[in-house]
A and B are shown apart, each in its own frame.
Chain A
Amino acid sequence: MIGSELLLALLLLVNLGAALVRAAQGPTAADRMLAALLFGSTGVGILVLLAVIQQTPALIDVALTLALLAAISGIAFAQRAWSQAVLGRRRGTASKTEDGDAA
Protein backbone atom coordinates (compact mmCIF):
# COMPACT_ATOMS: atom_id res chain seq x y z
CA MET A 1 0.00 0.00 0.00
CA ILE A 2 2.48 2.58 1.21
CA GLY A 3 5.13 1.23 -1.16
CA SER A 4 3.54 2.55 -4.34
CA GLU A 5 3.16 6.03 -2.88
CA LEU A 6 6.77 6.07 -1.73
CA LEU A 7 7.94 5.08 -5.21
CA LEU A 8 5.77 7.77 -6.75
CA ALA A 9 7.14 10.37 -4.35
CA LEU A 10 10.69 9.37 -5.26
CA LEU A 11 9.79 9.57 -8.95
CA LEU A 12 8.44 13.07 -8.46
CA LEU A 13 11.57 14.04 -6.57
CA VAL A 14 13.75 12.82 -9.46
CA ASN A 15 11.51 14.78 -11.85
CA LEU A 16 11.79 17.89 -9.74
CA GLY A 17 15.57 17.56 -9.57
CA ALA A 18 16.01 17.05 -13.30
CA ALA A 19 13.65 19.88 -14.12
CA LEU A 20 15.36 22.22 -11.67
CA VAL A 21 18.78 21.50 -13.18
CA ARG A 22 17.34 22.11 -16.64
CA ALA A 23 15.66 25.33 -15.57
CA ALA A 24 18.82 26.57 -13.86
CA GLN A 25 20.84 26.04 -17.05
CA GLY A 26 18.73 28.65 -18.73
CA PRO A 27 19.80 29.85 -21.25
CA THR A 28 17.42 32.77 -20.74
CA ALA A 29 16.13 34.37 -17.57
CA ALA A 30 12.65 33.24 -18.53
CA ASP A 31 13.79 29.61 -18.46
CA ARG A 32 14.91 30.01 -14.88
CA MET A 33 11.49 31.37 -13.94
CA LEU A 34 10.04 27.97 -14.79
CA ALA A 35 11.17 26.86 -11.32
CA ALA A 36 8.22 28.84 -9.93
CA LEU A 37 5.82 26.60 -11.84
CA LEU A 38 7.66 23.45 -10.81
CA PHE A 39 7.23 24.03 -7.10
CA GLY A 40 3.57 24.79 -7.61
CA SER A 41 2.72 21.44 -9.14
CA THR A 42 5.48 18.93 -8.40
CA GLY A 43 6.21 20.38 -4.96
CA VAL A 44 2.57 20.19 -3.91
CA GLY A 45 2.37 16.64 -5.28
CA ILE A 46 5.35 15.51 -3.20
CA LEU A 47 3.92 17.12 -0.06
CA VAL A 48 0.59 15.35 -0.46
CA LEU A 49 2.30 12.00 -1.05
CA LEU A 50 4.46 12.53 2.04
CA ALA A 51 1.32 13.20 4.07
CA VAL A 52 0.07 9.72 3.14
CA ILE A 53 3.44 7.97 3.49
CA GLN A 54 4.30 9.42 6.87
CA GLN A 55 0.66 9.43 7.97
CA THR A 56 0.98 13.10 8.83
CA PRO A 57 -2.30 14.68 7.72
CA ALA A 58 -0.91 18.07 8.69
CA LEU A 59 1.18 17.96 5.52
CA ILE A 60 -2.05 18.13 3.51
CA ASP A 61 -2.69 21.45 5.25
CA VAL A 62 0.80 22.54 4.25
CA ALA A 63 0.09 21.61 0.62
CA LEU A 64 -3.27 23.36 0.72
CA THR A 65 -1.73 26.50 2.20
CA LEU A 66 1.07 26.48 -0.36
CA ALA A 67 -1.45 26.18 -3.19
CA LEU A 68 -3.64 28.89 -1.67
CA LEU A 69 -0.72 31.29 -1.27
CA ALA A 70 0.43 30.58 -4.82
CA ALA A 71 -3.04 31.26 -6.20
CA ILE A 72 -3.54 34.44 -4.14
CA SER A 73 -0.12 35.86 -4.95
CA GLY A 74 -0.73 35.04 -8.62
CA ILE A 75 -4.03 36.93 -8.58
CA ALA A 76 -2.56 39.84 -6.65
CA PHE A 77 0.30 40.03 -9.12
CA ALA A 78 -2.11 39.95 -12.04
CA GLN A 79 -4.21 42.77 -10.58
CA ARG A 80 -1.25 45.03 -9.93
CA ALA A 81 1.08 44.32 -12.81
CA TRP A 82 -1.39 43.97 -15.65
CA SER A 83 -3.88 46.54 -14.53
CA GLN A 84 -2.95 48.80 -17.42
CA ALA A 85 -2.76 46.37 -20.29
CA VAL A 86 -5.46 43.93 -19.37
CA LEU A 87 -7.60 45.27 -16.58
CA GLY A 88 -8.06 48.74 -18.10
CA ARG A 89 -10.52 49.82 -15.46
CA ARG A 90 -8.22 50.36 -12.52
CA ARG A 91 -6.49 53.54 -13.53
CA GLY A 92 -5.41 54.33 -9.97
CA THR A 93 -3.07 51.39 -9.65
CA ALA A 94 -2.19 51.41 -13.33
CA SER A 95 -0.25 54.65 -13.10
CA LYS A 96 2.00 53.22 -10.41
CA THR A 97 3.10 50.21 -12.44
CA GLU A 98 3.95 51.63 -15.82
CA ASP A 99 6.15 48.72 -16.72
CA GLY A 100 4.19 45.49 -16.95
CA ASP A 101 6.73 43.74 -14.75
CA ALA A 102 7.42 46.38 -12.13
CA ALA A 103 5.97 44.23 -9.37
Chain B
Amino acid sequence: MLLDLASNLLLLAGGFFFCAGTVGLLRFPDVYTRLHALAKADNLGLGCLLAGLALKADSLVQAIKLLAIWPLVLVASAVVGYAIAHRADQLGITPWQRDDR
Protein backbone atom coordinates (compact mmCIF):
# COMPACT_ATOMS: atom_id res chain seq x y z
CA MET B 1 0.00 0.00 0.00
CA LEU B 2 2.66 2.45 1.14
CA LEU B 3 4.90 1.21 -1.64
CA ASP B 4 2.19 1.93 -4.18
CA LEU B 5 1.76 5.44 -2.84
CA ALA B 6 5.49 6.14 -2.95
CA SER B 7 5.65 4.72 -6.45
CA ASN B 8 2.81 6.91 -7.70
CA LEU B 9 4.33 9.98 -6.08
CA LEU B 10 7.61 9.28 -7.81
CA LEU B 11 5.84 8.80 -11.16
CA LEU B 12 4.04 12.12 -10.62
CA ALA B 13 7.33 13.83 -9.77
CA GLY B 14 8.85 12.32 -12.91
CA GLY B 15 6.07 13.76 -15.05
CA PHE B 16 6.51 17.13 -13.36
CA PHE B 17 10.23 17.30 -14.10
CA PHE B 18 9.74 16.25 -17.72
CA CYS B 19 7.18 19.07 -18.10
CA ALA B 20 9.50 21.54 -16.39
CA GLY B 21 12.24 20.57 -18.81
CA THR B 22 9.97 21.14 -21.79
CA VAL B 23 8.76 24.48 -20.40
CA GLY B 24 12.39 25.50 -19.95
CA LEU B 25 13.14 24.45 -23.51
CA LEU B 26 10.27 26.58 -24.80
CA ARG B 27 10.95 29.62 -22.63
CA PHE B 28 14.69 29.91 -22.24
CA PRO B 29 16.35 32.42 -24.54
CA ASP B 30 19.32 30.62 -26.12
CA VAL B 31 20.76 27.20 -26.83
CA TYR B 32 22.98 27.15 -23.73
CA THR B 33 20.18 27.87 -21.29
CA ARG B 34 17.94 25.37 -23.11
CA LEU B 35 20.66 22.76 -22.70
CA HIS B 36 20.67 23.39 -18.95
CA ALA B 37 16.90 22.86 -18.84
CA LEU B 38 16.84 19.67 -20.91
CA ALA B 39 19.88 17.94 -19.48
CA LYS B 40 19.12 18.49 -15.82
CA ALA B 41 15.31 18.43 -15.60
CA ASP B 42 14.72 15.52 -17.98
CA ASN B 43 17.34 13.36 -16.32
CA LEU B 44 15.86 13.94 -12.89
CA GLY B 45 12.43 13.20 -14.38
CA LEU B 46 13.68 9.92 -15.83
CA GLY B 47 15.29 9.04 -12.49
CA CYS B 48 12.00 9.58 -10.64
CA LEU B 49 10.10 7.63 -13.30
CA LEU B 50 12.47 4.65 -13.16
CA ALA B 51 12.48 4.65 -9.35
CA GLY B 52 8.67 4.75 -9.33
CA LEU B 53 8.39 1.82 -11.74
CA ALA B 54 11.12 -0.09 -9.88
CA LEU B 55 8.98 0.02 -6.72
CA LYS B 56 6.19 -1.68 -8.67
CA ALA B 57 8.48 -4.26 -10.31
CA ASP B 58 7.68 -7.97 -10.07
CA SER B 59 11.06 -8.91 -8.64
CA LEU B 60 14.15 -7.35 -7.14
CA VAL B 61 16.21 -8.13 -10.20
CA GLN B 62 13.70 -6.40 -12.47
CA ALA B 63 13.86 -3.34 -10.23
CA ILE B 64 17.65 -3.34 -10.47
CA LYS B 65 17.40 -3.64 -14.24
CA LEU B 66 15.10 -0.63 -14.43
CA LEU B 67 17.39 1.42 -12.20
CA ALA B 68 20.45 0.39 -14.25
CA ILE B 69 19.06 2.38 -17.16
CA TRP B 70 19.50 5.66 -15.29
CA PRO B 71 23.31 5.90 -14.98
CA LEU B 72 23.63 4.94 -18.66
CA VAL B 73 21.33 7.77 -19.71
CA LEU B 74 23.18 10.14 -17.35
CA VAL B 75 26.49 9.31 -19.01
CA ALA B 76 25.00 9.80 -22.46
CA SER B 77 23.36 13.11 -21.52
CA ALA B 78 26.50 14.45 -19.91
CA VAL B 79 28.66 13.74 -22.94
CA VAL B 80 26.07 14.77 -25.55
CA GLY B 81 25.26 17.93 -23.56
CA TYR B 82 28.88 18.98 -23.56
CA ALA B 83 29.20 18.06 -27.25
CA ILE B 84 26.29 20.37 -28.15
CA ALA B 85 27.56 23.23 -25.95
CA HIS B 86 31.04 22.86 -27.42
CA ARG B 87 29.69 22.85 -30.98
CA ALA B 88 27.53 25.91 -30.29
CA ASP B 89 30.61 27.69 -28.99
CA GLN B 90 32.58 26.70 -32.09
CA LEU B 91 29.79 27.96 -34.31
CA GLY B 92 30.24 31.31 -32.61
CA ILE B 93 26.84 31.44 -30.94
CA THR B 94 27.13 34.04 -28.21
CA PRO B 95 25.24 33.36 -24.99
CA TRP B 96 22.18 35.46 -24.26
CA GLN B 97 22.73 38.13 -21.62
CA ARG B 98 20.30 40.03 -19.45
CA ASP B 99 20.44 43.67 -20.62
CA ASP B 100 19.35 45.58 -17.53
CA ARG B 101 22.70 46.86 -16.44
Taking chain A's interface residues, is the majority helix, strand, or loop, or is none over half, making it mixed?
helix
Give chain A's interface residues, CB within 8 Å of chain B. Answer: 4-5, 8, 11-12, 15, 18-19, 22-23, 28-31, 33-34, 36-38, 40-42, 44-45, 48-49, 52, 57, 60, 63-64, 67-68, 70-71, 73-75, 77-78, 81, 100-101
Q: Which of B22, B81, B84 has the most CB of A within 10 A?
A: B22
Inter-chain contacts of B21 with A (CB < 8 A)? 15, 19, 41
Find chain B residues with CB under 8 A from A34 CB.
25, 31, 34-35, 38, 84
> B interface, by DSSP: helix, strand, loop or mixed?
helix
Complex interface: chain B residues within 8 A of A23 (CB): 25
Chain B residues close to A by CB (< 8 Å): 8, 11, 14-15, 18-19, 21-22, 25-26, 31, 34-35, 38-39, 42-43, 45-46, 49-50, 53, 56, 62, 65-66, 68-69, 72-73, 75-81, 83-84, 86-88, 90-91, 93
